[in-house]
Structure 1
């Protein structure tokens, strides 16, 4: 199914700004469908082939008309005259008599979508009359607001390109609460959900016929800070969003000024109680901060352990087996500390291992106690890894690079090249293949990984933990290549 942008590009000659106008309308028309209790369909002229349906939305507040998707359909002859009239006359046109769809009476009307005086498309509104009854005041108010927005669309005054969408979750919808303001900002109607949201902020008493700005100001008298956009939102003067917090409750508000002939005649306010949403967000923020602090403290403790081991090593003669063992322990502890340092700077339990690989490789080669220079490089990508995979991977690489430095390049110098490749198998499981190649002396005669020292034993154990395999082999034209694979854990929080 092509996107709206692709359809507009293929079927119309609209300018980019005009196409964006339709995108803005479609991005906000759920509001109109809910207020209208009706399906909305957007039609664009398609030359000799008539009209083409490019978007469709159903109401969440009432019964739908179209159970099937109508996007991509051409209009039939009876509806085409309705669309043509609305488009050419740039006015809202309603069918005189209902039409029947599957024994369901449907009222149809066409609303021209106008920008800068030019009609771009036609919006049709389809109302299921079978569910109609004596309307309540809520339904009458909703339909009145929908009609006002329809007139604004036909006049080129809606949507509003300056309306910010905001970054926080919890945008209010029609079902969450609706308030209608007059031109002076006085509440002429408030839905039951809107009244509940205002009362949860701490307001006691009526809201109808009250100045909403005064109601909110009284609630926030002892609260701080206050969003700078609050004043224009609660008076309905600008199409902005804001949030009000008082007495532990939070309410998201969105204002849509209503205009006639370019003059503001009132406003529609959408309200949503987002108290529970904000509480959960705060819990997540606190949890993430706590996890980062734990990683930071673990890193500090590991560095303290490394410093103590380093002091102990200095008390032993250079080259003695005990000192060498302590120095290796210092390096291994430092590698784990590097992973926790990276985790302390992120917002979840995953790390970008490319940074760790480069830093770890440079740290080992820069402090190598060899007379000849050693260069290093990393290519390919490790990508994002879970914390437990990252720790094992860092230890494996540290041991293998250290072995290459000490045994392969100590006498001659040379280069170490690390290559990483991320793939996935047929089941979608993430696979990581890493090769570490040096151009040094090569493997010694009779080399057996399982009996060659503590370092290779650690490597083999960690590779098994990653459900992978490791192979040591001669490199061409000389040197050693170690190649190992790992099956990575999913990156999701609860993946294991």
Structure 2
């Protein structure tokens, strides 16, 4: 189905006219719901080889279905050309700028409304009412239809949508089904739908609704000393086409006002209102839970750093070099895990921007490695965002491999050759999908230009060290593989692949 932007590109409308139609379509769901009918928007195609612009064909640019009643069009109709009779009515309404309701139709009632902007007709809107499946006419239906006819008249006058209006109130913007109130020009309630009456009852108003002053009903429930948005009085009286939210003791309500105009004079207003207390309560709970999770990660990071510091202090009091090195290694590994929790504590997501973590691991590992030469590091490619559990595993693997490359690759300084490049460890990461179901793998290469792998009978790397055992265990947990190879002209290349866990898993 083509988008509205694509369909509007077929017309010769100015950018201001296109913006007007975009705002009309953005607001016309409310009109469709009030009129219990499908709405279609028709535009003339401007062809260069047609001298008479009234002979230009028409095309259907947009379509809206009501949520308050049966749909007339069940299939996608955007892009369809008009039938001969419809072409005639479209052309007539476009030329005259007057609404028309043709007679003689048996299964549908169609109302043709010119879409006017600044005195010019730029499109035609058709209201399609299914006569065979119409709702039974009651008080709600009669009032909704009356309001919709006022809106259609405003569209034909160029008074709807309103230029420069900001009607959205974020999550919880009211809709027709949430509650409809019609106000007089003086701000008194002329009609309130059952859902609107229920919302006002929950607000605390127990008296008669019709004839009451809406602004008095609402402002009487404000908590003393609370801050009231400056838009509230204008919305409650229907004098401005804005949206707002009010909060009373135990209730949140969003409101949206649409002034009803006739001949440039405000004759009343349409207000949509919605009780969003439950939505706001859930939002507050989510914010509280997010803040709690962030605080937990922050405390875990602090505890890990404290334990790492205690291990370093203890290692300095030992005379046994092997024991001292073991405690120092344990402290370094705890610091690596703390990096992941530190990153998690700074955001609301349980996913980690691992490129930032990898950069910090490279810097920290080189700083603490016991080597006589200065080793540079470089990160290429991207890890992307990883789940917290995956991030902890990959961080440990990366820290062990980089630490091993720095300490053992350059433990005797740079290789004894002339014009040897600067000692360097390069980490390159590539993330790619694997199979179906959104599964992904990360391929990582850790390359150094150090002394390289042992030669001769012991060419295979020693696999009995604690660091190597940790790496292989973590890679196995991520269903991955790892390999060691010699780099040219000297150095070591370690390649590993890990399979990420899905968010659902």
**Which interval holds the TM-score relative to the shorter structure?**
over 0.9
State the match for 2:61 in structure 1.
54
Structure 2 residue aligned with 1:219: 221
2:501 is aligned to 489
Deviation by residue 1:224-277 (Cα, 9 ceiling, x = unmatched): 232332111111111111112223222211111111122221110001111221
Q: How does 1:329-368 map to 2 (within 5 A)?
A: 329-368=330-369
TM-score, normalization by structure 1: 0.94
After the TM superposition, which of the residue ranges 39-48 and 440-449 deviates more from structure 2?
440-449
Contact 1:449–1:456 at 8 Å: present in 2 too? no
- Which among 241, 264, 267 is matched to residue 265 of structure 1? 267
Q: Matches of 2:268 and 2:140 in 1, distance apart?
A: 17
Q: Following the alignment from structure 1 to structure 2, what is the Cα–Cα distance between the partners of residues 238 and 133?
A: 32
Deviation at 1:284, TM superposition (A): 1.2
Match of 1:82 among 89, 102, 105: 89
- Pick closer, same or farther for the CA change 1:479–1:21 going to 2, 3 Å: same
CA offset at residue 156 of structure 1? 1.4
- Structure 1 residues 260-269 or 338-347, which shifts more? 260-269
State how far apart, in whole Å, the 1-side matches of 2:136 and 2:178 are: 23
Alpha-carbon distance, 1:145 to partner:
0.9
- Which position in structure 2 is the counterpart of 1:238? 240
1:167/1:455 CA distance change after superposition, 3 Å: farther
Instruction: Tell me what 2:485 maps to.
Output: 473
Q: Counterparts of 1:115-126 in structure 2 under 5 Å?
A: 115-126=117-128
Distance 2:40 2:301 in 1: 58
Q: 1:439 corresponds to which residue?
A: 449
Q: Deviation string for 1:191-236 (max 9, x for gaps)?
A: 0100111111222212211111111010114362323321111111
* Offset, 1:74: 0.2
Q: After TM superposition, give the deviation of residue 128 of structure 1 in Å.
A: 1.5
CA distances 1:343-396 after superposition (whole Å, capped 9, x unpaired): 111112111101101111111123433332211111111111000000001000
Residue 220 of structure 2 aligns to a residue whose secondary structure is: helix
CA contact (8 A) 2:454 2:461 kept: no
Partner of residue 49, structure 2: none
Distance 1:385 1:486 in 2: 12
- The root-mean-square deviation of aligned C-alpha atoms, in Å, is 1.7
- Name segments (4+ residues, structure 1) moved above 6 Å: none
Q: Does 1:3 align with 2:3?
A: yes
Alpha carbons 1:42, 1:56 under 8 Å: kept: yes
Shift of 1:164: 2.3
Cα shift at 1:123: 0.6
Q: 1:92-131 maps to which residues of 2 (within 5 A)? A: 92-97=99-104, 99-100=105-106, 105-131=107-133
Name the CA distance, whole Å, in 1 between partners of 2:80 and 2:174: 32
Q: Counterparts of 1:232 and 1:260 in 2: how far apart (Å)? A: 19
Deviates more, 1:66-75 or 1:364-373: 364-373
Deviates more, 1:211-220 or 1:474-483: 474-483
Where in structure 2 are the equivalents of 1:379-394 lying within 5 Å? Answer: 379-394=380-395
Residue number in structure 2 paired with 1:38: 37
For structure 1, the 5+ residue unaligned runs are none
Deviations 1:15-56 (A, max 9, x none): 222212111111111100000011000111024552100111
The verdict on how the C-alpha distance between 1:457 and 1:148 changes in structure 2, with shifts beyond 3 A counting, is same
Correspondent of 1:69 among 69, 76, 86? 76
| CA contact 2:169–2:244 (8 Å) conserved in 1 | no
Gaps of 5+ in 2: 47-54, 415-421
Scaled by the length of structure 2, what TM-score is found?
0.93
One of 290, 294, 297 as aligned partner of 2:296: 294
2:336 & 2:167 partners in 1: Cα distance? 44
Deviations for 1:250-309, whole angstroms, at most 9, x for unmatched residues?
221111111112222111000111122112112111111111111011011111101111
Q: Aligned to 2:75, what secondary structure does the other structure show?
A: coil
2:12 is the alignment partner of 1:13: yes
Counterpart among 309, 313, 316 of residue 314 in structure 1: 316
Kept in 2: contact 1:202–1:246 (CA 8 A): no
Post-superposition offset of 1:450? 6.5
Question: 3-state DSSP class of the match of 2:396?
Answer: helix
Q: Is the 8 A contact 2:454 2:460 kept in 1?
A: no
CA–CA distance in 1 between the matches of 2:175 and 2:332?
57
Query: Separation in 1 of the partners of 2:365 and 2:135?
Result: 79
SS at match of 2:327: helix
Determine the C-alpha separation between the residues in 2 that align with 1:133 and 1:139: 8
Contact 2:196 2:273 survives alignment (8 Å):
yes
CA distance in 1, matches of 2:461, 2:231: 67
The Cα offsets for residues 82-125 of structure 1, whole Å up to 9 and x where unpaired, read as 1111111112111123x24xxxx211011111122222211100
Kept in 2, the 8 Å contact 1:201–1:245? The answer is no
Q: Distance in 2 between matches of 1:452 and 1:175?
A: 69
Aligned length: 486
SS at match of 2:255: strand
SS at match of 1:72: coil
Alignment of 1:16-27 (within 5 A): 16-27=15-26
